[in-house]
Amino acid sequence: MSTYRAFQVSGQRNFALVDRELTDPLPGQVRLRVEACGVCHSDLLAVHGLFRPDANTPVVPGHEIAGVVDAVGAGVTAWRVGDRVGVGFLNGHCGECEQCRRGDFVNCADQPITGTVVDGGYAEVAYARASGLVRLPDGLDPFDAAPLLCAGLTVFKALQQGGSRPGSLVAVQGIGGLGHLGVQYAAQLGYRVAAISRGTDKAELAAQLGAHHYIDTNVQDPAAALRDLGGATTIVATAAAGDIMSALVPGLAPRGHLVVVGASQDPIAVSTSDLIFGTRSIGGSLTGSSIENEDSLTFSRARGIRPLNEVLPLSEAPKAFERMMSGAARFRVVLDTAR
C-alpha cells in the first residue's frame, strides 16, 4: 500500500483521521507496522500542542507502540524486516551528546519524544530511530506489551531507583494506570507491598495484584500508617497531585526515597526536618533506555505481569484518549490498529 491511516492532532484536541503517504525510513531509522498502541496520560503533551514550536503543526500521538519491522534505513544493521519490536516514550538516543557518552541515554540531549515531537503510534505505521527499538519477547502479546513499554517501564525503573532490599516495605501510591503495574512489579521483586489509595473500592484488587497491605487515605493518615508498618524504604508516587505526595514523606523509613513518576504542576511541600532527620530524599524518575525496556519486558513475561486493558479500535482514538483522561478506564486503554 502507498498510504496508511493515522490520527493526527493539531492545536488543542483537534483530532483528524488522515491518510499519510508511506515513505522509506531515513538513515538510522526503521519503519514498523503498528499492531497495538497504548493511550497514556503523557499523550496530553501532543494533544495540547506542548513541546512543539508551533502547536498547529500536526503530529500523531502515541508512544506505547508494539509492532513489526517492515523496512530498515541505511546504516541499520541490528534489525531485520519481520522483527517484533516496541517503541516507548524515547524515540532513540543520538549516541554523541555528553549524556550519551557518559551512558545516560535517558537524558540524551538530542532524543525525539515519540508521539509528541515526532509522529507516534495512533496509526497503522510508525517510524523510530534504531537506537530506540525494544525487542519484544517471544510469546508476549502486543496488547500486553504496549502499555508495558512506557507505564510498565516507568514504575519498574522507579522501584529500582529506590534501591530497596527484598523483604523491605515498599509503597505504591495510586492504584491506577501506573500504580496497578507498580504493585505487581513490587510484589514480584520480593518487597512487602503497601498499596495507597482513596476509598475501599480498590482494596480487593490491590490484594489480587500482590499488595500485602492496603491504606485507605479516607480513613488513615498514610504517613502514620506506613510508620506503623515500620516505614517505607521506597514510595513510588504515581497519582499526579503534589499535596498527596507531600503527605507521604514522613512515612519514609530512615534513608527512604520518595520516587515521583506522576507528573503534575503542583509543588511538593516538605518539612526540611523530615528530610534531614532520617536522611530521606525525594527524586523523580522518567523512564528507561531501550535495553532497560527489554529487561523490563523479559521480567514481565517471566513473572506474569500484565496490564489491565480496555482495547478500542484505531478508528475510536479520540474517544480512547478522552476515556483515559476521564479516569474511567480500568486501567490502560490500547488501540487496535487492525480495526
Strand order in the sheet with 169-173: 213-216, 192-197, 169-173, 232-237, 252-260, 281-284
Contacts of 25 (CB under 8 A, 6+ apart): 31, 71, 72, 73, 76, 127
Residue 87: closest CA among 4, 30, 22: 30
Q: What does the chain come to in residues? A: 339
3-135+308-336 CATH:
3.90.180.10
Residue 280 confidence class, pLDDT cut points 50, 70, 90: very high
Average pLDDT over residues 324-334: 94
Average pLDDT over residues 315-323: 97
For residue 156, the SS3 value is helix
Q: Report the pLDDT value the prediction gives residue 89, as an integer from 0 to 100.
A: 97
> Into which CATH architecture does domain 152-284 fall?
3-Layer(aba) Sandwich (3.40)
Average pLDDT over residues 190-196: 98
Point out the least confidently predicted range of 26-40, 138-152, 197-211, 262-276: 262-276
Full-model pTM: 0.95
Q: Report the pLDDT value the prediction gives residue 1, as an integer from 0 to 100.
A: 75
Report domain extents, the chain.
Answer: 3-135+308-336, 152-284
Q: How many CB atoms lie within 10 A of CB 74?
A: 10
pLDDT tens digit sequence for 236-276: 999 888 899 999 999 999 999 999 999 878 899 999 999 99
Residue 150 scores a pLDDT above 80: yes
Average pLDDT, the chain: 96
Q: Report the pLDDT value the prediction gives residue 53, as an integer from 0 to 100.
A: 85
